[in-house]
Homo-oligomer: A and B are copies of this chain.
């Protein structure tokens, strides 16, 4: 950055400087209404209702809450064919997964099947995603097991435990639906991508470790999910390991991973990996049935009740101390499930170019959980793996969920006895195979490369989940993410700007090392809103910039500093602490014989500066539309007011 070859830009075509406008005043309630609308209705969901007749509005309103009314009339045989294939495919995945995840949640396996029957039907009516396949997810199942398990032992008091699970599901649904109705869906956005990557990988790790129980055929196991207690549980019981179970487990896991790998490389054969779990279940059951392996240490599911979901709304537990546990479990699992469901819906909508209203989806997911909890279902959402299979199988509408529900109903009515001999180790292998796909180390490497802070968030979530618990990991990741937002505001960046040669553009000298500084003028850019959290910092930082600049000028013997220009382009807003700070900076610069100049304050900032009388204080003549105009004005005044600097004034201007 050399100041020697500096040439005053565009001094010759003496353009009139532009005035910075104070935006036209708005009545308080209008601006308040506008900001409420931007906060809660950013997608303007009521736009389609404008200028319509009341009947039309009513129909649109119904269609808004029940999207099935919108797509059903247009439903064709073509669609049905596609949805039939997709529905049967996801059913073949839903049945073994449902049983497995229910076991993971320490619930009776049949609950997993129930949960794949009612909720998909509700979602098919209310959901607006065409690709989301409804089902239970491993992380929530694990969370239910660990959080409810702290209060009630599932083996000692299974019916209370089961009722608590329904209650937690009910509260989860209530929370999800309320978030949607209150337009608070953006809370889910606070679970950043980095958080989810770390969190999912952590949950997958501990779920896999938990499966060691099933694969090694252990009877006793820790309730804790932390890696340390799980490892202790596994290695203190080496004498209880069952080799029959272990061999079966490894074989099935290998089979599932091979089919997965194959389907990944040849997307046309997606159905191979989709059918593999059911095939494993059938093959495993046959094997046990034929070899009587259940008598040689291979645990099996045992009797499953025939028949559809019994009602469970009479089972809710609303008495302390259990209710508070159920509420807490419901809140956390509800948010986690919601985040997955909304993200999955959004991703596929983006892919197929249709639009999804996140808040509406939340109402749909919440309602399906509320209704589900009344009919012996536990927490469901739109799992990524199952939805991806649905999408690959070519589903067209939410009808594929209905097909899946019908297939599950058929199973519940007639086929449950067939699961009697299904070995638990196959279920463990199914869970492990699903979980290994969730450890997305490539995403973690990408985070490290692009944004170190996001990587820290991701690792925070991972380590928290693996070494402490699923809740702790979530809290750590959200806390680090929020800390980052606060740090951004509390410690905004300030840059010195320099002139880009042969232009009136001024940019950060660190980013553009070939810029020239302007003699006698220090140009600072502030890169964040000026709020209470950073006003003290900015005051100190600005005076340090001035000190450093004066020191530098003194040491090189150049012209002393005359003007300090603050480029306010990136200052989105200012509060009263901020305006006081500017007043103090003004006082400091005045005392040092410097002139404070503002460039390009935005609408909000101008409003506040005007109201706080700072504009009167600084003088409207010292506020310019661009840094270029501010510098020009400073140079102009520098050379007309200070006759001792005529040497520079005579510098030729034609070498631009």
Q: Are B490 and A189 in contact (CB under 8 A)?
A: yes
Closest beta carbon of chain B to A624's beta carbon, Å? 11
Query: Does any Cβ of B come within 8 Å of A621's Cβ?
Result: no
User: Which residue from B194, B488, B492, B611 sits with its C-beta under 8 Å from A449?
Assistant: B611
Q: Are B452 and A576 in contact (CB under 8 A)?
A: no
Query: Does any Cβ of B come within 8 Å of A451's Cβ?
Result: yes
Query: Does any Cβ of B come within 8 Å of A489's Cβ?
Result: yes
Given contacts A451-B576, A454-B576, A490-B189, contact A591 B353 (CB under 8 A): yes
B residues less than 8 Å from A192 (CB atoms): 531-533, 575, 577
B residues less than 8 Å from A625 (CB atoms): 500, 505, 507
Query: Does any Cβ of B come within 8 Å of A569's Cβ?
Result: yes
User: Which residue from B18, B195, B571, B611 sits with its C-beta under 8 Å from A450?
Assistant: B611
Closest beta carbon of chain B to A173's beta carbon, Å? 22
Q: Are B42 and A446 in contact (CB under 8 A)?
A: no
B residues less than 8 Å from A23 (CB atoms): 510-511
* Contact code string A416-455 (vs B, CB < 8 Å = 1, else 0): 0000000000000000000000000000001101111110
B residues less than 8 Å from A449 (CB atoms): 611-612
Given contacts A23-B510, A541-B42, A570-B570, contact A575 B453 (CB under 8 A): yes
Name the segment of A99-107, A117-125, A478-486, A640-648 touching the other chain: A478-486
Query: Does any Cβ of B come within 8 Å of A517's Cβ?
Result: no
B residues less than 8 Å from A571 (CB atoms): 570
Q: Are B194 and A572 in contact (CB under 8 A)?
A: no
Query: Does any Cβ of B come within 8 Å of A302's Cβ?
Result: no
Closest beta carbon of chain B to A195's beta carbon, Å? 8
- Which residues, 185 to 204 on A, are CB-close (under 8 Å) to B? 186, 189-195
B residues less than 8 Å from A503 (CB atoms): 15, 18
Query: Does any Cβ of B come within 8 Å of A558's Cβ?
Result: no
B residues less than 8 Å from A190 (CB atoms): 490, 532-533
Q: Are B491 and A486 in contact (CB under 8 A)?
A: no
Q: Are B189 and A533 in contact (CB under 8 A)?
A: yes
Q: Are B579 and A450 in contact (CB under 8 A)?
A: yes
Given contacts A450-B576, A505-B625, A603-B508, contact A491 B38 (CB under 8 A): yes
B residues less than 8 Å from A446 (CB atoms): 576, 612
Query: Does any Cβ of B come within 8 Å of A376's Cβ?
Result: no
* Contact code string A13-48 (vs B, CB < 8 Å = 1, else 0): 001001001011000100010000011001110000
B residues less than 8 Å from A512 (CB atoms): 21
Given contacts A450-B579, A626-B505, contact A602 B186 (CB under 8 A): no
Query: Does any Cβ of B come within 8 Å of A562's Cβ?
Result: no
User: In the complex, A38 Cα to B491 Cα: how many Å?
Assistant: 7
User: In the complex, A627 Cα to B505 Cα: how many Å?
Assistant: 11
- Which residues, 491 to 546 on A, are CB-close (under 8 Å) to B? 491-493, 495, 500, 503, 505, 507-508, 510-513, 527-529, 531-537, 540-541, 544
Closest beta carbon of chain B to A492's beta carbon, Å? 7
User: In the complex, A490 Cα to B529 Cα: how many Å?
Assistant: 13
User: In the complex, A569 Cα to B350 Cα: how many Å?
Assistant: 28
Query: Does any Cβ of B come within 8 Å of A178's Cβ?
Result: no
Query: Does any Cβ of B come within 8 Å of A620's Cβ?
Result: no
Q: Are A537 and B570 in contact (CB under 8 A)?
A: no
Q: Are A587 and B450 in contact (CB under 8 A)?
A: no
User: In the complex, A470 Cα to B588 Cα: how many Å?
Assistant: 35
* Contact code string A52-87 (vs B, CB < 8 Å = 1, else 0): 000000000000000000000000000000000000
Q: Are A575 and B454 in contact (CB under 8 A)?
A: yes
Query: Does any Cβ of B come within 8 Å of A608's Cβ?
Result: yes
Query: Does any Cβ of B come within 8 Å of A331's Cβ?
Result: no
Residue of B nearest to A458 (CB): B576
User: Which residue from B511, B591, B603 sits with its C-beta under 8 Å from A510?
Assistant: B603
Residue of B nearest to A515 (CB): B21
B residues less than 8 Å from A573 (CB atoms): 488
User: In the complex, A602 Cα to B507 Cα: how many Å?
Assistant: 9
Q: 11 A-B pairs, CB-CB below 8 angstroms?
A: A18-B500, A24-B513, A39-B491, A42-B541, A189-B534, A192-B531, A194-B532, A350-B587, A350-B588, A451-B611, A570-B572
The 10 closest A-B pairs by CB, nearest first: A192-B532, A511-B603, A527-B572, A570-B570, A450-B611, A450-B612, A23-B511, A193-B577, A454-B576, A43-B540
* Known contacts A447-B576, A570-B602; 7 further A-B pairs (Cβ under 8 A): A186-B491, A191-B532, A450-B608, A451-B575, A505-B625, A505-B626, A511-B602
